[in-house]
């Protein structure tokens, strides 16, 4: 019988077994941290204290005690501590304390996902039961039966919901929620870091509407936010809520020793720099731990990869561990299945779980010993969230990040100093984006009339009200503006998109039981929802069977294929106005408003891992126009004696590389921003790369690119230079640039785009981990 090894023995094997050690790029050890606890605050109710003691909690961690004191003093706060550090008590304790002091007190809990709200509800109920008091907490979302909705409105001390339900199901019907709004003392916003980009910008306006209704009913709630580690938690919380915030980051939770390993699969095709499959490497690594009954979580980016890894692992170890010892976890699983898996992980009956980022948020699954990431999750914040899933509070943990062949993965794996030396990304929102703002002014006017001199949060709205009056959307009567439409507007406004006219996505896998699973703005739909496109939703692959452009409906069916689709856009871009400009001897950078006219032309089918083109097809859709904001990078054409074809190939390569690197620095989804090269831009007749927001009006991403363009360019150039391919590959400049000199030319162009820097700035850009660089400061 084979003797089982413990984690320490397997860590030693990993370091010395050549099958693995040759692929380890970096081994980073984080030493254990002792708990820092304080006694329960004197003001804390005896019932709460006794309930905590029943659960084996003799005191509070320092951050929990600080949060309790700040909240009881009626200060809004944002608590930022690592995964599994007990952030939930930062808001549950002051809320329960206030309800015990005054039974009329109400609290509103906002979670970004249903799964998270169900998990938090269970924990809250356990606490209330142990306190042996009558406190009512209810979940109010799309799944709440209509029979109990009235009871929740009248008697819910704590109402648990999500931003979408607050937007369309609670605020428009505030007259049914009088007891909540009259007595609302606390608003909890959990997982603050999720509220960035378009979703965050929309949610900030939902909060403006919430505060406006609270003011109408005479309440002024305290906001308590919690977040994973991001660079600007206080700034984001204050932007989202328009409240002064106390930052609480004095983490007192203990953590065990952690080993963070960067693992790069070997190259199997040197000219194209294609590496062995990250999925197969993750499988091989996970096998070693599972065979030895070490609890392991494997993160994968898509449902296809989750199911693939699950099938491999179950087949290999089912005989040793049993058929239910390894499970999958992703969007699409029923709540009952998810609860069963979470329970199995906590009690140890499940040894392995393969998950999409569904388990990245704070769902309680206990603490596992090993975490394997199949590829870089897309942001430093997400990577630390996933890594936090491994590590019992006093035990050792191992985290392995397995790189794929993609440019982003290769940059991260080969630059461990970048990952460990810089703080997580800055989350950015723009609540005053005109398209988003106008939508929420409509919603707010439906909820309550506007009076002359009213503001909407910190936004000036007089011109918007006048515009909506001219459009006959609202009606002015004296000094007040009233909603004048039969339908209420929130139903037609998605918090996930900045576009007013969205394409609805309909799943007809189980026709005739068709199901609406999402929506998308029209500009993105051209490249992501055309006929035959492969569309990913919550990790599930769908093929678009038909896009009805007139009716704005995309009909999709679930599939399981080994490729994704990528569409070509014929783009015409013109500059409308330049707001910022800096010019040097060889180059210039600008930021301003642009008009993008785009037509999708053809799409390609690209095989996972190898990135081979395995097919193509035409797209027949009308032209779409987008007004947005853009950063513009230009060089003086007489510096290089290149013909237009060579310039075009170099610009395509440089643009492809920037497409990978910009989301890394700006903390956004790759679809949120587009990079578009022009050999001779109309506004200055120079070779130019435009980096523009893919949302109407822009949400501030391209402005951030402009502000930190030197750093981004320098790091992009370094990434291309260090790529081991010979003349360009999917891991650096892509496969669209086909000339033999394209890689060299892209490097030269990136260098020229950055050459206007002073020596001091260049030094800071070359070493973007120094403390004096405000963009990357820890």
Query: What's the rounded Cα separation, in Å, for the pair 227 and 37?
Result: 21
For residue 101 the two structure tokens come to: 């002091």
User: Which regions of the chain are under pLDDT 70?
Assistant: 1-2, 114-115, 272, 303-304, 318, 323, 330-336, 358-367, 392-394, 422-425, 496-501, 537-540, 608-611, 667, 669, 756-778
Beta-carbon contacts of 336 under 8 Å, excluding residues fewer than 6 positions away, are none
Q: How many domains are there within the chain?
A: 5
Look at residues 382, 404, 426 and tell me which one is the last residue of a structural domain: 404
**Residue 364's pLDDT is what?**
59
- Domain boundary among the residues 365, 386, 404 is at 404
CB atoms near residue 510 (< 10 Å): 10
351 vs 15: CA distance, rounded Å? 23
H or E, element range at 139: strand 137-139
Secondary structure E strands in 511-612 = 515-521, 534-537, 540-548, 553-558, 563-583, 587-607
Residue 303 within a domain: yes
User: Is the residue at 97 inside a domain?
Assistant: yes
My answer on whether 616 and 644 are in the same domain is yes
Angle, nearest 10°, between helix axes 742-753 and 644-666?
Answer: 60
Q: 497 in a domain, yes or no?
A: no
Note whether 48 and 195 are same-domain residues: yes
Contacts of 435 (CB under 8 A, 6+ apart): 498, 499, 500, 695, 696, 697
Domain extent, residue 202, equals 37-248
429 domain-assigned: no
pLDDT of residue 696: 81
Locate 442 and state its tokens.
Answer: 């409509």
Contact 313, 352 (CB under 8 A): yes
As a whole number of angstroms, the distance between CA 644 and CA 742 comes to 13
Decide which of 228, 248, 268 is a domain's last residue: 248
What local confidence, expressed as pLDDT, does residue 236 receive? 94
> Is 688 part of a structural domain of the chain?
yes
pLDDT in tens, 213-243: 999 999 999 999 998 777 889 999 999 999 9
The pLDDT of residue 68: 97
Instruction: Please choose, from the candidates 156, 163, 161, the residue with its C-alpha nearest in 3D space to the C-alpha of residue 177.
Output: 156
Do residues 192 and 75 share a domain?
Answer: yes
Does 41 lie in the same domain as 25? no
Determine the pLDDT at residue 193.
Answer: 85
Q: What phi and psi, each to the nearest 5 degrees, are found at residue 166?
A: -60, -45
Q: Do 371 and 390 form a contact (C-beta atoms < 8 A)? A: yes
Q: Are residue 41 and residue 115 in the same domain, yes or no?
A: yes
**What gap in Å lies between CA 243 and CA 240, rounded to an integer?**
8
Same domain? For 242 and 359 the reply is no
The verdict on 529 and 514 lying in the same domain is yes
46 and 186 assigned to the same domain: yes
| Shared domain check, 243 and 279 | no
**Quick one: 115 and 155 in the same domain?**
yes
Among candidate residues 540, 260, 207, the one with its CA nearest the CA of residue 416: 260
Co-location of 186 and 204 in the same domain: yes
Query: Does a structural domain hold residue 359?
Result: yes
| Contact between residue 400 and residue 416 where contact means Cβ atoms under 8 Å apart | no
For the domain that residue 379 is a member of, what is the CATH number? 3.40.50.300
Tell me the per-residue pLDDT of 688-740, one tens digit each, with 9 for 90 and over.
999 999 888 888 889 989 998 988 999 899 889 988 777 887 778 877 777 88
Domain annotation covers residue 413: no
Among all chains, which residue has been given the structure tokens 């960067």? 262
Q: Note the pLDDT of residue 360.
A: 61
Strand partners, 592: 578, 630
Pair 668, 731 in one domain: yes
- The CA distance from 249 to 80, in Å, is 5
């Amino acid at each position: 019988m084979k003797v089982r090894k413990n984690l320490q023995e397997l860590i030693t094997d990993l370091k010395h077994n050549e099958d693995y050690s040759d692929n380890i790029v970096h081994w980073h050890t984080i030493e254990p941290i002792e708990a820092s606890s304080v006694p329960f605050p004197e003001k804390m109710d005896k019932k709460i204290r006794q309930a905590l003691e029943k659960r084996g909690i003799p005191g509070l961690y320092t951050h929990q005690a600080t949060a309790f004191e700040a909240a009881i003093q009626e200060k809004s706060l944002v608590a930022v501590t690592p995964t599994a550090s007990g952030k939930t008590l930062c808001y549950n304790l002051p809320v329960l304390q206030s309800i015990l002091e005054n039974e009329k007190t109400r609290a509103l809990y906002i979670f970004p996902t249903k799964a998270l709200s169900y998990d938090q509800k269970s924990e809250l109920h356990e606490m209330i039961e142990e306190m042996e008091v009558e406190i009512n907490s209810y979940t109010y979302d799309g799944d709440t039966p209509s029979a109990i909705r009235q009871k929740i409105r009248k008697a819910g001390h704590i109402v648990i919901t999500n931003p979408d339900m607050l937007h369309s199901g609670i605020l428009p019907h505030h007259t049914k929620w009088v007891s909540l709004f009259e007595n609302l003392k606390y608003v909890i916003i959990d997982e603050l870091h999720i509220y960035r980009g378009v979703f965050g910008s929309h949610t900030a306006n939902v909060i403006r509407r919430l505060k406006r209704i609270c003011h109408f009913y005479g309440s002024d709630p305290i906001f308590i936010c919690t977040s994973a580690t991001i660079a600007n938690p206080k700034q984001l919380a204050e932007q989202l809520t328009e409240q002064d915030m106390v930052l609480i980051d004095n983490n007192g939770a203990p953590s065990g020793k952690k080993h963070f390993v960067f693992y790069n699969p070997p190259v199997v095709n040197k000219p194209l720099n294609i590496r062995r499959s990250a999925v197969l490497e993750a499988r091989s690594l996970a096998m070693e731990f599972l065979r030895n009954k070490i609890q392991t979580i494997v993160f994968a980016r898509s449902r296809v990869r989750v199911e693939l890894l699950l099938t491999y692992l179950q087949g290999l170890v089912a005989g040793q561990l049993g058929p239910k010892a390894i499970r999958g976890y992703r969007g699409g699983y029923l709540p009952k299945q998810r609860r069963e898996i979470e329970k199995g992980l906590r009690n140890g009956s499940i040894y392995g779980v393969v998950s999409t980022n569904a388990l990245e948020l704070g769902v309680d699954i206990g603490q596992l010993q090993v975490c394997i990431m199949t590829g870089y999750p897309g942001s430093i914040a997400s990577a630390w969230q996933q890594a936090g899933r491994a590590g019992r509070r006093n035990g050792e943990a191992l985290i392995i990040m397995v790189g794929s062949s993609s440019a982003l993965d290769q940059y991260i794996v080969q630059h461990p100093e970048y990952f460990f030396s810089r703080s997580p990304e800055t989350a950015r929102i723009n609540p005053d984006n005109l398209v988003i703002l106008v939508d929420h002014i409509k919603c707010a006017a439906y909820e309550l009339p506007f009076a002359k001199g009213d503001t909407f949060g910190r936004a000036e709205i007089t011109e918007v009200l006048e515009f909506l009056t001219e459009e006959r959307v609202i009606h002015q009567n004296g000094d007040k503006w009233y909603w004048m439409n039969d339908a209420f507007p929130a139903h037609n406004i998605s918090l996930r998109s900045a576009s007013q006219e969205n394409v609805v996505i309909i799943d007809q896998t189980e026709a005739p039981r068709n199901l609406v699973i999402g929506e998308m703005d029209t500009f993105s739909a051209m490249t992501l929802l055309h006929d035959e496109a492969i569309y990913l939703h919550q990790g599930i692959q769908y093929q678009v069977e038909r896009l009805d452009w007139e009716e704005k409906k995309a009909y999709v069916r679930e599939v399981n294929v080994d490729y994704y689709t990528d569409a070509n856009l014929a783009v015409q871009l013109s500059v409308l106005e330049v707001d910022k400009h800096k010019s040097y001897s060889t180059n210039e950078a600008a930021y301003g408003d642009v008009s993008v006219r785009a037509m999708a032309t053809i799409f390609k089918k690209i095989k996972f891992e190898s990135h081979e083109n395995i097919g193509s097809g035409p797209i027949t859709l009308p032209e779409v126009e987008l007004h947005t904001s853009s950063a513009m990078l230009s060089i003086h054409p007489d510096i290089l004696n290149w013909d237009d074809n060579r310039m075009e190939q170099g610009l395509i390569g440089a643009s492809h590389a920037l497409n990978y690197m910009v989301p890394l620095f700006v903390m956004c989804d790759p679809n949120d921003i587009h990079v578009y090269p022009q050999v001779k831009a109309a506004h200055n007749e120079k070779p130019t790369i435009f980096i523009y927001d893919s949302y109407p009006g822009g949400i501030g991403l391209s402005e951030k690119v402009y502000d930190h363009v030197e750093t981004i360019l320098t790091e992009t150039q370094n990434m291309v230079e260090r790529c081991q391919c010979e003349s360009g590959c999917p891991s650096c400049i892509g496969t669209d640039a086909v000339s033999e000199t394209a890689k060299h030319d892209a490097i030269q162009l990136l260098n020229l785009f950055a050459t206007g820097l002073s020596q001091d700035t260049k030094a800071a850009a070359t070493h973007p981990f120094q403390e004096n660089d405000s963009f990357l400061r820890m």
